[in-house]
A and B are shown apart, each in its own frame.
Chain A
Amino acid sequence: DTEVTQTPKHLVMGMTNKKSLKCEQHMGHRAMYWYKQKAKKPPELMFVYSYEKLSINESVPSRFSPECPNSSLLNLHLHALQPEDSALYLCASSHDRDQPQHFGDGTRLSIL
């Protein structure tokens, strides 16, 4: 079990669906992250939130839309995804930027 909780653990969606991934941490961390990971590759950074403000968007397509409602929650809204978006989506948090990051268990996403 990790201290960063992600839901759902698995998600199958069609290309026209809208869904959201959720992430929650109660460690008082002020930085939160979304990553995408493909098989046998390291995690690939998508977004960085610091003190609830978006500080980095790694040129992610607009079909991925992050949201940080408060210091403990991070959402990733998904719309009109493509089959190549199928991957493990990881949320992480850290005390502050450039500090060790703690990952959640991830959401395994499959696009039909």
Chain B
Amino acid sequence: QKEVEQNSGPLSVPEGAIASLNCTYSDRGSQSFFWYRQYSGKSPELIMFIYSNGDKEDGRFTAQLNKASQYVSLLIRDSQPSDSATYLCALPEGGNTGKLIFGQGTTLQVKP
């Protein structure tokens, strides 16, 4: 059974700082990793996906993947109060089932 671990937080950062959200996973064979942002009472929104070792940047967001250490991170630069949300890390169960294994999510609070 694949597992995904995230620190539930809350992670509190001041406005303008870099927020670093981390996720570890149990299956060394995992290939794809997704980050979702979920505001309170809303649905998850896909914000990043990464397949290769290294960094992938999209605006203020950077996803970092280290397959040797089995962790994936999401960095948010110049954090804004509007970034305050729960961030879910997910990866496919594999075998082309379509099932995603989710972490429990990390709550981020950006304080003005």
How many residues of A sit at the interface, in one of the four size bands? 20 to 34
Q: Which residues in A have their C-beta under 8 angstroms from that of B44?
A: 43, 90, 103
**Interface of chain B: mostly helix, strand, loop or mixed:** loop
B49 touches A98 (CB 8 A): no
B45 touches A103 (CB 8 A): yes
Q: Which residues in B have their C-beta under 8 angstroms from that of A42?
A: 88, 90, 102-105
The distance in angstroms between the C-alpha atoms of A2 and B99, with both chains bound, is 21
Q: Which residues in A have their C-beta under 8 angstroms from that of B46?
A: 100-103
Pick out which of these stretches binds chain B: A48-56, A61-69, A70-78, A79-87.
A48-56
Q: Which residues in A have their C-beta under 8 angstroms from that of B100?
A: 43, 45, 101
Q: Which residues in B have their C-beta under 8 angstroms from that of A88?
A: 43
How many residues of B sit at the interface, in one of the four size bands? 20 to 34
Number of interchain pairs (Cβ within 8 Å): 58
The yes or no answer to B69 lying at the interface (CB within 8 A) is no
Measured CB to CB, the nearest residue on chain A to B105 is A42
Q: Which residues in A have their C-beta under 8 angstroms from that of B36?
A: 103
A105 touches B42 (CB 8 A): yes
Please tell me which one of the listed residues A41, A45, A104 contacts residue B99 in the complex, with CB atoms under 8 A apart: A45
A104 touches B43 (CB 8 A): yes
Q: Which residues in A have their C-beta under 8 angstroms from that of B88?
A: 42
The distance in angstroms between the C-alpha atoms of A4 and B17, with both chains bound, is 33
The yes or no answer to B82 lying at the interface (CB within 8 A) is no
A103 touches B43 (CB 8 A): yes
The distance in angstroms between the C-alpha atoms of A105 and B22, with both chains bound, is 26
What are 16 A-B pairs at a CB distance below 8 A? A41-B104, A43-B44, A43-B102, A56-B97, A97-B97, A98-B32, A98-B92, A98-B98, A100-B32, A100-B46, A101-B34, A101-B46, A103-B36, A103-B46, A104-B43, A105-B42
